[in-house]
Structure 1
Amino acid sequence: MTHILQIDFTMQGPFGDEMAEVFADLAKSINEEEGLIWKIWTESPDTNEAGGVYLFESKETAEKYLNMHTNRLAKFGITGVNAKILAINSKLTEINNGPVK
């Protein structure tokens, strides 16, 4: 069963095009993570927040990624990561054209 991982945290930037440029290699490496189907990058320069919404093949792969990513963020000095792992109701999501398998 697929699961969504929601992550957000406080970050002082960069945002927008600069963020896309700075984190392009990281974005490419995320595609190699076990169980990842897709990621949507999120940002709010107004509130100094960034994060993402991820779709994983299973709860286990989402948990594994969350643990690794939280440790990686800590190395960048980012703490206080908010995260949730939620199961997806695929039947209802399909009705609303959600991009899930």
Structure 2
Amino acid sequence: MAYLLQVDFKMNGPFGDEMAEAFSDLAKSINEEVGFKWKIWTENPETKESGGIYIFETKETAEKYLNMHSKRLAGFGITNINAKIFFINSKLTEINKGPVK
């Protein structure tokens, strides 16, 4: 079983290579979160949006991370966060080559 956490929010930047450099340490720290499996970082400089798609082992670990991450983002002045947690149907996802086992 696995759960997907989808998060997005408005952000003025940085984007692209600057974002990769600025958030490299944050990316590494996410690997240490309990229940974390992987993340896809998302960004849209045109609409000034950023976020990510995360996979967690359980709904509880996704919820715990979302709570912590929301507080961290608030510390950066980002408070209007769109977040959803979904159960992943692994049988159908595998048919479509999704990296979820």
**Which TM-score applies when normalising by structure 2?**
0.99
Match of 1:53 in 2: 53
Match of 1:69 in 2: 69
C-alpha distance in structure 2 between counterparts of 1:99 and 1:84, whole Å: 20
Match of 1:33 in 2: 33
C-alpha distance in structure 2 between counterparts of 1:89 and 1:33, whole Å: 23
| Count of paired positions | 101
Q: SS of 2:98's equivalent?
A: coil
Give 1:38 deviation, angstroms: 0.1
Match of 1:96 in 2: 96
2:10 equivalent to 1:10: yes
C-alpha distance in structure 1 between counterparts of 2:71 and 2:99, whole Å: 28
Runs of 4+ in structure 1 off by over 6 angstroms are none
After superposition, the CA RMSD in angstroms is 0.4
Q: SS of 1:20's equivalent?
A: helix
**Which TM-score applies when normalising by structure 1?**
0.99
- Residue deviations 1:13-64 (CA, integer Å, cap 9, x gap): 0000000000000000000000000000000000000000000001000000
C-alpha distance in structure 2 between counterparts of 1:61 and 1:15, whole Å: 28
C-alpha distance in structure 2 between counterparts of 1:55 and 1:99, whole Å: 10
Gaps of 5+ in 2: none
